[in-house]
Amino acid sequence: MSISNLDPECLQIMSKSPTKVPPTAAVIFGATGDLTHRKIVPAFYHLAKNDLLPDDFAIIGFARRPKSDEEFRKDLGDALEKFSHTKPVDQAIWKKLAERIYYFQGELDDPKAYQKLADKLKKLSQSEKIGENYLFYLATAPDYFGQAAQNLAAAGLASRPDGTRHRLIVEKPFGEDLKSAEELNRTVQGAFAEKDIFRIDHYLGKETVQNLIYFRFANAIYEPLWNRRYIDHVQITVAEQVGVESRGGYYDHAGASRDMLQNHLFQLFTLTAMEPPASLDAESIRDEKVKVLRSIPTPSLDFLQKNVIRAQYGGGFIGNKAIPAYRQEEKVAHDSLTETFVAARFEIDNWRWSGVPFYLRTGKALAAQFTEINIIFKRPPEVLFAASADDRLRRNSLRIRIQPNESISLNFNAKVPGKSEAELVEMDFLYKSGFDHYLPEAYERLLVDALVGESTLFTRSDEVEQAWRLVDAVRDSWRKQNARDLPLYACGSMGPVEADLLLEKTGRHWIRPKEIST
């Protein structure tokens, strides 16, 4: 069943924003890049397929390579055949969309190119009846974000006070530390109004992430337990099975802390820990997320050295594929101290979470590819079962699987048939079997929200800066350690032994994903 066939009540539950976008011209900067081919254009195709784009809609690809409209359309069509998550591609729908895709050659640092773009958009607005509603997507190298925003403003293409929609999507990474993020915010906000800036993190577009708010606040059985009285600790894991592959040049500068901790992990962290918002509007939800980050005091050097682990992967195999050691990857320094794995403990200094540790970890070349939030409840009193349960009376836990195979699982103790002992059992809810309608990809949802001006699933400037404050503290502690080497972990493992000890020293352990549970 497609989204367009759902009844209005169901659509309202899925999204607060209108499901049909207004006539718009979307301009993709970096149009010949990987992100455009893999994610952005396939997302537009699926929106068209589900009747969520108007007839008066156009896409302009902005890039420096010489290319005709037809060549650009063919490149995108070939990529769609490869990267569409539904097969086969509906050629009639793609043909209709492709006819409204155009190519514009220009340099990102050339102000004259933006003036020519403005002229092209004006002519297109008249012919396609899209008015002056524009969405600009910066799918470029981060170095161009501020400059592109300024050039758009100089060409009269930024925010306007008359209500005309001129919106800007900015990809991650948004800055590389707190100082650069603050400078970029000032630059972009000098060109576009904050309400028209959409800092994208595709994790927020995942249906399971969005469901966190509904799961917590629409169910009376969980929210009363969501606090320090009942929860022992929380684990959030973003595990990648691949190494750095062709991204060695970027990754050796960024590392896991900048690439994943500052954005994806902290996004899941804040949604898990936030207080009930005053309403479901964007600012109310984002206010509560920022409050979580503000409630984490900047950790001391001593705390960070005891509670943050970094490591690199060594050589090895994942399945039948050989993975070189990180320092042997292309464009990686042979003496690199860049972390490919990070595990950290954070604590929130507020009434709900005081004393409850949040353990965050992410890494490359790990045993499995998955993203999970695990809520570990306190151990129940064992006085009734002391003679028979021994150590089998385990803590209850709630597993929220973000990807793949989106699901929510509750673990609880049950009596083993025929024996006087308890065993941990699991009760599952699987998204694919629980709902029979179309499950949109993250970029599809985020593009629709940006097109209609719904900013709930995008990060606000103060949220970005608060996340960088914490990551800067972590990275500063590493610089002060003056380490000459890093712990290594085997490819296909779940990280270094030091990460296990981070929990084991307090009597805890990492929850293993289902795929590799023993």
Same structural domain, 29 and 173:
yes
Same structural domain, 45 and 129:
yes
- Mean pLDDT, residues 236-255 taken together: 92
Same structural domain, 103 and 156:
yes
Same structural domain, 74 and 191:
yes
Q: Which of 13-17, 216-220, 237-241 has the lowest mean pLDDT?
A: 13-17
Marked catalytic residue, from 264, 334, 437, 509:
264
Range of the domain at 484: 204-377+458-516
Asked whether residue 133 is domain-assigned, the answer is yes
Asked whether residue 422 is domain-assigned, the answer is no
Asked whether residue 401 is domain-assigned, the answer is no
Element (H, E) at 463: helix 461-481
Q: How far apart are CA 274 and CA 290, in angstroms?
A: 9
Asked whether residue 97 is domain-assigned, the answer is yes
Asked whether residue 131 is domain-assigned, the answer is yes
Same structural domain, 228 and 190:
no
CATH number at residue 262: 3.30.360.10
Average pLDDT, the chain: 90
How much is the pLDDT for 3? Answer: 35
Report how many domains make up the chain.
2
Asked whether residue 392 is domain-assigned, the answer is no
Residue from 54, 67, 63 nearest 25 by CA? 54
> Where a domain ends, among 199, 219, 234?
199
Q: pTM of whole model > 0.85?
A: yes
> Where a domain ends, among 162, 178, 199?
199
Asked whether residue 433 is domain-assigned, the answer is no
How much is the pLDDT for 361? Answer: 98
DSSP, res 194: G
- Residue 267, helix vs strand vs coil: helix
How much is the pLDDT for 207? Answer: 80
Q: What is the pLDDT of residues 273-325, one digit of tens each?
A: 999 999 989 999 999 999 999 999 999 999 999 999 999 999 898 888 899 99
- Mean pLDDT, residues 433-437 taken together: 69
Q: Flag whether pLDDT at 234 surpasses 90.
A: yes
- Quick one: tokens of 53? 């784009």
How much is the pLDDT for 516? Answer: 56
Same structural domain, 183 and 300:
no
Catalytic status, residue 264 = yes
- Quick one: tokens of 399? 């597993």
- Location of structure tokens 């169910």: 219
Q: What is the pLDDT of residues 336-388, one digit of tens each?
A: 999 999 999 999 999 999 999 999 999 999 999 999 999 999 988 776 766 65
- Mean pLDDT, residues 246-251 taken together: 88
Asked whether residue 293 is domain-assigned, the answer is yes
Same structural domain, 276 and 298:
yes
How much is the pLDDT for 515? Answer: 63
Same structural domain, 8 and 64:
yes
Q: How far apart are CA 82 and CA 92, in angstroms?
A: 17
Determine the straight-line distance between the first and last CA of the chain, rounded to whole angstroms: 37
Question: Strand locations in 1-148, DSSP E?
Answer: 24-29, 57-63, 101-105, 134-138
Q: Which of 85-89, 113-117, 163-167 has the lowest mean pLDDT?
A: 163-167
Q: Flag whether pLDDT at 7 surpasses 90.
A: no
Q: What is the pLDDT of residues 311-324, one digit of tens each?
A: 999 989 888 889 99
Q: How far apart are CA 275 and CA 408, in angstroms?
A: 21
- Mean pLDDT, residues 10-30 taken together: 68
Same structural domain, 60 and 161:
yes
The answer to whether the beta carbons of residues 16 and 280 sit under 8 Å apart is yes
Same structural domain, 216 and 353:
yes
- Residue 25, helix vs strand vs coil: strand
How much is the pLDDT for 5? Answer: 37
CATH number at residue 151: 3.40.50.720
DSSP, res 228: T
Same structural domain, 257 and 138:
no
How much is the pLDDT for 335? Answer: 94
> Where a domain ends, among 172, 199, 226?
199
Same structural domain, 209 and 82:
no
